[in-house]
Every structure is written in C-alpha cells, then in structure tokens.
C-alpha cells in the first residue's frame, strides 16, 4: 500500500506492507534511526514519536495508520542547527547514559513542556512514567527536564 507521511516537516511517499510498524517505517524506509525499537510489547517507550502532536509508541502504530498524518521524531527537535532546550538539558544535566531511551524521553519531555511550561518534579515523573530507563534511575532525566523548563522560550520550541 502506498502511504504519504509528513515526518519532521518533510513529506515522504513510500510503498509499504500493510503490517509494517511505524517504528520500522521510520528506521528502515526513511533512515531515521533516532527512534529506537525496544521491547515489542509497548512497555518500554523507547519508540515514542509524535503523531499529529501527540506522543505515541510507534511500535503500536502501523505505518498505514500514519498515512496523511504528521510524525515528529527526535531528529525533528533540533531547529536550524540549534538544539531544543530539552536536548540541551539532557547534555547539561547528564540525562542520558546509554542513550537508548533518550529519544523517546526527549519527545515526551518536549510535549510536556509545550503543555505545561513549569512542571513539578511529580508531573515530570508522571509524564515519563510510560518509558523505561535502565541506566540513570531517572534523577538526571528529571533534572534535565527541569533545566529545559527553566531555559525554554516560546521561540525555542517552535
């Protein structure tokens, strides 16, 4: 089946098998390998992307379901050579270790800050609760999101 998906602002049309998962479409058909594939059960959240502005686990979405829709991946956070404050926060506060969960965490954090520019630690932890990190214990991830909240501007997130 032919699908047309707008990914990070660019439109792509590809012929795909109707069983192809969005995570594999992004990685294998578009070469966007920032979206990781983890557990095959939608428990870990490492495959999180935005579908029409809402975080989804791309291992639960078929590529054909994204036909005509907009997807944002971690590659779409950076704007004009400038890191998003969330990306910068992960650097500044050591919010990543192995980096496997990082793309999904960053997209979830960006979504949270777009909807709540000054979240509490509890709200940050709740927002990322659908994602597993096996390395950091979440303390530095939470600090990274707080850093981004304190350093974000309206212009930085658009």
Look at residue 133 and tell me whether its pLDDT is greater than 90: no
Strands (E) located in the chain: 2-7, 10-15, 48-51, 54-57, 70-72
Of 39, 74, 109, which residue is a domain's last? Answer: 74
Same domain (yes/no): 103, 131: yes
- Is the distance from CB of 44 to CB of 105 less than 8 angstroms? no
In a domain, 79, yes or no: no
In a domain, 104, yes or no: yes
What mean pLDDT, rounded, does the chain reach?
A: 92
Q: How many domains are contained in the chain? A: 2
Alpha-carbon distance of 36 to 46, in angstroms, equals 6
Same domain (yes/no): 70, 95: no
Look at residue 105 and tell me whether its pLDDT is greater than 60: yes
End-to-end CA distance of the chain: 33
Same domain (yes/no): 70, 10: yes
Same domain (yes/no): 100, 65: no
* Residue 122 structure tokens: 């509890």
Q: Tell me, what's the pLDDT at 76?
A: 96
In a domain, 30, yes or no: yes
Residues 77-104, mean pLDDT to the nearest whole number: 92
Residues 16-39, mean pLDDT to the nearest whole number: 95
- Is the distance from CB of 66 to CB of 58 less than 8 angstroms? no
Domain that holds residue 47: 2-74
CB count within 10 Å of CB 150 equals 11
* Residue 104 structure tokens: 């999904």
Element (H, E) at 109: helix 102-115
């Amino acid at each position: 089946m032919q699908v047309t998906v707008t990914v990070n602002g660019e439109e792509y049309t590809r012929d795909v098998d109707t069983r192809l998962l969005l995570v594999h479409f992004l990685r294998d058909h578009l070469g966007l390998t920032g979206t990781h594939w983890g557990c095959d059960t939608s428990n870990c959240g490492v495959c999180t992307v935005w579908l029409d502005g809402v975080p989804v686990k791309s291992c639960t979405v078929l590529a054909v379901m994204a036909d005509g829709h907009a997807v944002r991946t971690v590659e779409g956070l950076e704007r004009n050579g400038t890191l998003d404050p969330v990306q910068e926060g992960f650097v500044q506060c050591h919010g990543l270790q192995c980096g496997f969960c990082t793309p999904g965490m960053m997209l979830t954090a960006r979504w949270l800050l777009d909807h709540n520019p000054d979240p509490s630690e509890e709200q940050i932890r709740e927002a990322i609760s659908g994602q597993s990190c096996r390395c950091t214990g979440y303390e530095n991830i939470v600090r990274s999101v707080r850093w981004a909240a304190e350093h974000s501007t309206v212009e930085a997130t658009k």
